[in-house]
Amino acid sequence: MSATAEQAQVGTEPTEERRLVDLVLRARTFGIVGVLVLFVLITTVIQSRFLDASNIRFVLSESALYVVVAIGETCVILTRNVDLSVGSVVGLSAYVSANLFQTHHGIAIPLVFLAGAGVGFLCGLTTGLITAIARVPSLVVTLAMLYIVRGVDTIIAGSNEVVANSLPNSFINIFNDTTFGIPDLALAAVILVALAAYWLRYFRSGRDLYAIGSDPVAAERVGIPVARRLLMAFVLSGTIAGLGGVIWATQYNTIDSNAATGLELQIVAAVVVGGVAIFGGSGSVVGAALGALLLQTITSALNVLGVPSLWTEAIAGLLLIVAISLDRGIQLRLAAALQRRKVRLGA
């Protein structure tokens, strides 16, 4: 057997280290489900009305926004980058889209969603061009964009706000509409998660994001268009955040320049808690969606139990630290496993 063939065979054989890493990665997703179920059970024992059908529908509808925006954030974090501007993009999109009902009476709701997505697209395109083409670190770019977009929102909105009575009932009811007892927003979020998961798994452009996050230099050497993929990831994140802004408007109805302030940190926390490695290269949109659902369930449970909302932020921060520490441990374990395999192969 040639050296190349031998390396290929050894590379495809599941080693003990490799199986352990895969097991830990899968356990993270199942662990989120376990924590979610346990939290629901404990809360229900203390306050039985937590499992009321109306409360369950509210949690699912409220989680839809975070799940949708987390999809775009996941695409960015997979590439070893981060988008801290999503909260401001959601806020700007929420005001611009809702304000269309005041400036263009009778406008069709699908056009409002397109307008919100368009706002996000422009923001994502700007961020992507600076990050991917100019090669400025995403942390710096998106932090700057967070303030720039929020400033633009403040200039456009000023001291004005969009109030509920200026919005059509058909738009306001989107948050509460159900199909077979399941909120329409939750169903739409599930469909988007499924589509994103399929794309990341079976399309080259999606798989490239994992390769870039694992090793950007190696990805470029094997011919992956790194700059183009990074631009795509940020455009997706911005566009999806724009759609999230319209969802925000259907939920809160009264929108001003402060809409969605601080949302970006909750989204990043949901994605990382959901098993997407902050160091890039691993994770899934399904895990990110579960992370978003977990954090929103915790928020709802604390409200039902009468616990101050500040504890929600504290718990989210704690979960974020635990998740990042776990990701770092997995990364070090994987690096050690790969190094041992190279030694065995005589590399």
Domain boundaries, the chain: 52-294
Q: Which residues contact 333 (CB under 8 A, 6 or more apart)?
A: 17, 20, 21, 24
- How many angstroms separate the CA atoms of 187 and 60, rounded? 9
Instruction: Grade residue 8 by pLDDT with cuts at 50, 70 and 90.
Output: very low
- How many angstroms separate the CA atoms of 35 and 297, rounded? 11
> Is residue 218 pLDDT above 70, yes or no?
yes
- DSSP 3-state assignment of 136? coil
Are 131 and 125 spatial neighbours (Cβ–Cβ below 8 Å)? no
- How many other C-beta atoms lie within 10 A of the C-beta of residue 265? 15
For the ranges 16-20, 47-51, 180-184, 304-308, the maximum mean pLDDT occurs at 180-184
pTM of the complete model: 0.87
Rounded mean pLDDT, 172-180: 94
Dihedral angle over CA of 67, 281, 263, 254, nearest 10: -40
For the ranges 212-226, 233-247, 263-277, the maximum mean pLDDT occurs at 233-247
What's the token pair of residue 282?
């691993």
pLDDT one-digit tens code per residue, 67-83: 999 999 999 999 999 99
Instruction: Grade residue 23 by pLDDT with cuts at 50, 70 and 90.
Output: low
DSSP 209-277: HHHHHH-HHHHHHTT--HHHHHHHHHHHHHHHHHHHHHHHHHHH--B-TTTTTTHHHHHHHHHHHTT--
Instruction: Say what the pLDDT of residue 333 is.
Output: 67
CATH-assigned architecture of domain 52-294? Orthogonal Bundle (1.10)
Instruction: Say what the pLDDT of residue 328 is.
Output: 66
Please provide the average confidence, as pLDDT, over all residues in the chain: 86
Instruction: Grade residue 152 by pLDDT with cuts at 50, 70 and 90.
Output: very high
Rounded mean pLDDT, 114-123: 98
> Is residue 1 pLDDT above 50, yes or no?
no
Instruction: Say what the pLDDT of residue 248 is.
Output: 96
Residue 295, H or E segment: helix 285-304
Instruction: Say what the pLDDT of residue 36 is.
Output: 84
Q: Which residues contact 338 (CB under 8 A, 6 or more apart)?
A: none
- How many angstroms separate the CA atoms of 153 and 145, rounded? 12
Instruction: Grade residue 3 by pLDDT with cuts at 50, 70 and 90.
Output: very low
User: When comparing pLDDT for 131 and 313, which is higher?
Assistant: 131
> Is residue 13 pLDDT above 50, yes or no?
no
- How many angstroms separate the CA atoms of 134 and 230, rounded? 12
Instruction: Say what the pLDDT of residue 11 is.
Output: 38
Instruction: Say what the pLDDT of residue 14 is.
Output: 43
- How many angstroms separate the CA atoms of 347 and 342, rounded? 5
User: When comparing pLDDT for 327 and 163, which is higher?
Assistant: 163
Q: What angle do CA 10, 335, 229 make, to 5 degrees?
A: 95
- How many angstroms separate the CA atoms of 303 and 50, rounded? 10
pLDDT one-digit tens code per residue, 42-52: 889 988 888 88
- Computed on alpha carbons and rounded to an integer, the radius of gyration of the chain in Å comes to 21
> Is residue 19 pLDDT above 60, yes or no?
no
pLDDT one-digit tens code per residue, 291-302: 999 889 988 888
Instruction: Say what the pLDDT of residue 17 is.
Output: 47
Instruction: Grade residue 4 by pLDDT with cuts at 50, 70 and 90.
Output: very low
- How many angstroms separate the CA atoms of 336 and 224, rounded? 26
Instruction: Say what the pLDDT of residue 10 is.
Output: 35
